[in-house]
A and B are shown apart, each in its own frame.
Chain A
Amino acid sequence: MADLSTNFLGIKSPNPFWLASAPPTDKQYNVERAFEAGWGGVVWKTLGEEGPPVVNVNGPRYGAIWGPDRRLMGLNNIELITDRDLEVNLREIEAVKKKWPDRAMIVSIMVPCEEDPWQKILKRVEETGADGVELNFGCPHGMSERGMGSAVGQVPEYIEMVARWCKKHSSMPVIVKLTPNITDVRFPARAAKAGGADAVSLINTISSIVSVDLDSFSPSPSIDGKGSHGGYCGPAVKPIALNMVAEIARDPQTAGLPISGIGGISTWRDAAEYIALGCGTVQVCTAAMTYGFKIVQEMTEGLSNYMDEKGFATIEDFRGLAVPNVTDWQYLNLNYVTKARIDQDLCIKCGRCHIACEDTSHQAITHMKDGVRHFEVIDEECVGCNLCVNVCPVDDCITMETISGTDPRTGKPIDPNYGNWTEHPNNPMARADAAD
């Protein structure tokens, strides 16, 4: 059995699966149920400053997109930070941590962008015995209009400033949670590091309108005929999150900065992909909100099974293995030539590969041969784009084959050596270099 335990910034948990700061971690009852189910840790739902708590809408808080069988693909919410009394939350955090000492207890916090409120809340959190804090610089709705959440996360200077305050006023590990609602995620990550933050977690939710009601013409969820953008999460956002994680993991300025990965993690495989891109832990919310806490048992079992099969004894054994393989386009090997291959025994003759290629790409797949419905790749036209593979409904029916010798499309010999754009004769920069 692989060892799933993690040590993230000195915070230990029996497995890398934490529940993200969100409705499932808003109170003792839920969190204890999560720990009973097997979750390795939680990030307690964001606490605000002392005083009357925030107020949520009393109409619907969630919108969603679904597959045809109503499988939830993406979830959007307009819920704010905790609307429970600060003292109640702190008491419960302390009680849970005492009762479950082996689980990670991180507390998410968000207070106005001044040093004093941060100092105050950090002191209170530290008194609970919590393992660390996560700074919520990501929430894209409601709180951002009050100068908090993503309003901070979108200004690297603020991130650096607040992170520095937190390190100054607390001995707890500090995780900065990043918003994806920016143009280049490396800048806020660099700012977090510069401010002394111990780690980043990402992504928070993406600003979104999930749908428009075509009878009432209100965005949904509709609150008395009006809607507001919400934060989008769930399986649909995973590709966006993976890229942002990879950008930070391979940025020389932030390389090695611990990352807690968040975004659409629903199965062990999703988690393993985040870990391969360098994440030390992963955080889950939507999948738990869709199916309940029991899903963690599939995740731990599946991850353990994968690690056993691959011979990875610990998470560290494969963490970050994909990072060196993420590169810029210009370094991709242009001498790597592939052609699509259609397995005629598996082909069910739906013709989707043909029409996709014919209408939208390179006219490289037949639909007829000797008067019979037949789908076959025309190597002279195939650029190896892989579109046919992606639209084919049959597993492994179309595969990409690497070829050598002469490319039938160009009629030119394929250079067996690696060669990229930076040195390609068509690259004006390369031509200029050659002229020098």
Chain B
Amino acid sequence: MTGTSKPGIQAARLPADRLTDNFTDLHAPLTKHEAFIEADRCYFCYDAPCINACPTGIDIPMFIRQISADNPNGAAKTIFNENIMGGMCARVCPTETLCEQACVREAAEGKPVKIGLLQRYATDHLMETTSAHPYTREAETGKHVAVVGAGPAGLSCAHRLAMKGHTVTVFEAKEKSGGLNEFGIAAYKTTEDFAQDEVAFILDIGGITIENGKALGRDIMLDQLARDFDAVFLGFGLPDVNALGLSGEDAKGCEDAVDYIARLRQTDDLASLPVGRNIVVIGGGMTAIDIATQTKLLGAETVTICYRRGPEQMNASPYEQDVARTHGVTIRHWLQPQSLRHGEDGSVSAITLEYTSLDGGKLTGTGETLTLEADQVFKAIGQSPEDSPLSGVDLSLERGRIKVGDDRKSSHTKIWAGGDCIHGGEDLTVAAVEDGKVAAEDIHRALMA
């Protein structure tokens, strides 16, 4: 150990055992006894507020009661009935702004029932103790549906369609399925290859084929899919990362947070990941929190999140902000990037930010600036849609995203969509799962009409 860390971007800033330690589960799973005690705290509310707060509408009091009654697999089935990715959602849902915020114990004592951890207890139990898939398919309908994107929205839709007896082909641009569950979620939230286990669990129902390496607009065309299949579901997410709009943005050290997180999730050796000594993250959402916390855990000396508005406007919940701070990340508000400075070798050396203020609802720079040393600057200011894959089909868009109705149907009679690629999406795994489920139900209604 030394008192100072090496300058620049370096791999293996921490010894391997420290890295392994840093990237274990953020929250250890509940033991059976802990689950019983926690489940006992649930009041089994009438018309429970937690159910209404869950985007997928899981019957939370019922699954908790099933845990209490020592029926964890029954509890898991209650969860999967509404959310086939209940296992991942138990790990990544911002429960503090969803079910747990609505829990009456939050109002009563500021300590909601740990619904997320109980959900994980149940879903892990089923996935670890049973080999048989919990659902059987209805009789084959002879209908064939194309799903674009093997992320949460696409897989949720595919599973529900397969359950209804339809045959599903999923086209996935990447060589590995799972979408943001595989490439985007912070590593300490989903350890031990859970995303791939969950994909395998979903496919176990049968009737679903995934074709990896098939990108919309490159290997497959939407108009062709609409002609060849009985229905199409689009769940391809948001491929492009927003730029800062600063000169020298392509310099070494200025990186895209989404890409880096994907690399981190895919690596077998955390010590091989180069990480800066002083890091600045630009953004205010979950991605900003995830990249900041994880680079700190990789051994960065200082990590500062700079967000152009105040704490209340941050997309990351107060809980997530606390997680980052607990890990040693500094969060600064009212700062927008102004220019990058570069060292002799051309790589980033510092970033200058301008203070901002809200002036009658409009964000303006104050002219005052601040310069932070940074050998790595991460862009985490959101992803934007690329419209090229949709060419050839007339689809109504809103700010580049697909417009859908309550049933997740687009303006095209054979195309439904969900997840991050639709307008009004919530940027949450659980919301994407709900989109896929709702769309599948509507596709089923349409195909069987």
Cβ contacts under 8 Å, A324 to chain B: none
A68–B43 CB distance below 8 A: no
Nearest-neighbour CB distance to chain B for A93, whole angstroms, equals 42
Cβ contacts under 8 Å, B36 to chain A: 68-69
Give the distance in Å from the alpha carbon of A190 to the alpha carbon of B434 in the complex.
70
- Interface segment, B102-110, B172-180, B261-269, B288-296? B102-110
Q: Using CB atoms, name the residue of chain B closest to A391.
A: B43
Nearest-neighbour CB distance to chain B for A218, whole angstroms, equals 18
> CB of B37 within 8 A of chain A?
yes
Q: Using CB atoms, name the residue of chain B closest to A358.
A: B46
Nearest-neighbour CB distance to chain B for A362, whole angstroms, equals 16
A354–B40 CB distance below 8 A: no
Fill in one digit per residue for A62-95: 1 if any B CB lies within 8 Å of its CB, else 0: 0000011110000000000000000000000000
Give the distance in Å from the alpha carbon of A394 to the alpha carbon of B109 in the complex.
11
Give the distance in Å from the alpha carbon of A355 to the alpha carbon of B44 in the complex.
10
Give the distance in Å from the alpha carbon of A408 to the alpha carbon of B103 in the complex.
35
B97-121: which have CB < 8 Å to A?
A: 104-105, 107-108
Cβ contacts under 8 Å, B40 to chain A: 67-69
Cβ contacts under 8 Å, A367 to chain B: 46-47
B44–A352 CB distance below 8 A: yes
A351–B47 CB distance below 8 A: yes
A336-374: which have CB < 8 Å to B?
A: 348-352, 354-355, 367, 373
Give the distance in Å from the alpha carbon of A111 to the alpha carbon of B68 in the complex.
46
> CB of A393 within 8 A of chain B?
yes
> CB of B26 within 8 A of chain A?
no
Fill in one digit per residue for B37-65: 1 if any A CB lies within 8 Å of its CB, else 0: 10110011111110000000000000000
Nearest-neighbour CB distance to chain B for A222, whole angstroms, equals 18
Cβ contacts under 8 Å, A69 to chain B: 33, 36-37, 40
Q: A350 with B37: in contact, given A355-B46, A367-B46, A393-B43 (CB under 8 Å)?
A: no
Cβ contacts under 8 Å, A349 to chain B: 45, 49, 104, 107
Give the distance in Å from the alpha carbon of A67 to the alpha carbon of B39 in the complex.
12
B46–A348 CB distance below 8 A: no
Give the distance in Å from the alpha carbon of A43 to the alpha carbon of B31 in the complex.
42
B1-50: which have CB < 8 Å to A?
A: 33, 36-37, 39-40, 43-49
Cβ contacts under 8 Å, B48 to chain A: 351
Cβ contacts under 8 Å, A393 to chain B: 43
A373–B108 CB distance below 8 A: no
Give the distance in Å from the alpha carbon of A277 to the alpha carbon of B40 in the complex.
34
Fill in one digit per residue for A40-67: 1 if any B CB lies within 8 Å of its CB, else 0: 0000000000000000000000000001
B39–A350 CB distance below 8 A: no
Chain A: residues with Cβ within 8 Å of the partner, total of: 15
Give the distance in Å from the alpha carbon of A367 to the alpha carbon of B47 in the complex.
9
Nearest-neighbour CB distance to chain B for A118, whole angstroms, equals 49
A373–B68 CB distance below 8 A: no
Cβ contacts under 8 Å, B45 to chain A: 349-352
A348–B105 CB distance below 8 A: yes
Nearest-neighbour CB distance to chain A for B106, whole angstroms, equals 9
B37–A373 CB distance below 8 A: no
Q: Using CB atoms, name the residue of chain A closest to B47.
A: A351
Nearest-neighbour CB distance to chain B for A71, whole angstroms, equals 10
Nearest-neighbour CB distance to chain B for A23, whole angstroms, equals 27
Give the distance in Å from the alpha carbon of A364 to the alpha carbon of B33 in the complex.
38
Give the distance in Å from the alpha carbon of A373 to the alpha carbon of B47 in the complex.
9
Nearest-neighbour CB distance to chain A for B46, whole angstroms, equals 3
Q: A350 with B46: in contact, given A68-B36, A69-B37 (CB under 8 Å)?
A: yes
Q: A394 with B108: in contact, given A352-B44, A367-B46 (CB under 8 Å)?
A: yes
A68–B47 CB distance below 8 A: no
Cβ contacts under 8 Å, B105 to chain A: 348
Task: Name the residue in B37, B43, B44, B107 with the highest tally of chain A Cβ atoms < 10 Å from its Cβ.
Answer: B43
Cβ contacts under 8 Å, A354 to chain B: 46
Nearest-neighbour CB distance to chain B for A68, whole angstroms, equals 4
A164-215: which have CB < 8 Å to B?
A: none
Nearest-neighbour CB distance to chain A for B33, whole angstroms, equals 8
B272-306: which have CB < 8 Å to A?
A: none
Cβ contacts under 8 Å, B49 to chain A: 349, 373
Give the distance in Å from the alpha carbon of A68 to the alpha carbon of B46 in the complex.
22
Q: Using CB atoms, name the residue of chain B closest to A68.
A: B40
Give the distance in Å from the alpha carbon of A69 to the alpha carbon of B40 in the complex.
9
Cβ contacts under 8 Å, A350 to chain B: 43, 45-46, 104
Q: Using CB atoms, name the residue of chain B closest to A67.
A: B40
Give the distance in Å from the alpha carbon of A67 to the alpha carbon of B46 in the complex.
23
Q: A68 with B37: in contact, given A351-B47, A352-B45 (CB under 8 Å)?
A: yes
B68–A68 CB distance below 8 A: yes
Give the distance in Å from the alpha carbon of A289 to the alpha carbon of B107 in the complex.
39
Task: Name the residue in B44, B48, B49, B108 with the highest tally of chain A Cβ atoms < 10 Å from its Cβ.
Answer: B108
Give the distance in Å from the alpha carbon of A351 to the alpha carbon of B50 in the complex.
13
- Interface residue from A68, A348, A351, A355 paired with B107 (Cβ < 8 Å): A348
Nearest-neighbour CB distance to chain B for A73, whole angstroms, equals 13
Give the distance in Å from the alpha carbon of A373 to the alpha carbon of B48 in the complex.
10
Task: Name the residue in B33, B36, B46, B105 with the highest tally of chain A Cβ atoms < 10 Å from its Cβ.
Answer: B46
Q: A68 with B39: in contact, given A351-B45, A352-B44, A352-B46 (CB under 8 Å)?
A: yes
Give the distance in Å from the alpha carbon of A265 to the alpha carbon of B108 in the complex.
32
Give the distance in Å from the alpha carbon of A351 to the alpha carbon of B49 in the complex.
10
Q: A348 with B37: in contact, given A68-B68, A367-B47, A373-B47 (CB under 8 Å)?
A: no
Cβ contacts under 8 Å, A68 to chain B: 36-37, 39-40, 68
Top 6 nearest A-B pairs (CB, nearest first) are A351-B46, A68-B40, A355-B46, A348-B108, A350-B43, A350-B45
Besides A352-B46, A394-B108, 8 other CB < 8 A contacts? Answer: A68-B36, A69-B40, A70-B33, A349-B107, A351-B48, A354-B46, A367-B46, A373-B49
Interface residues of B (CB under 8 A from A): 33, 36-37, 39-40, 43-49, 68, 104-105, 107-108
Query: 27 A-B Cβ contacts within 8 A?
Result: A67-B40, A68-B40, A68-B68, A69-B33, A69-B36, A69-B40, A70-B33, A348-B104, A348-B105, A348-B107, A349-B45, A349-B49, A349-B104, A349-B107, A350-B43, A350-B45, A351-B45, A351-B46, A351-B48, A352-B43, A352-B46, A354-B46, A355-B46, A367-B46, A367-B47, A373-B49, A393-B43
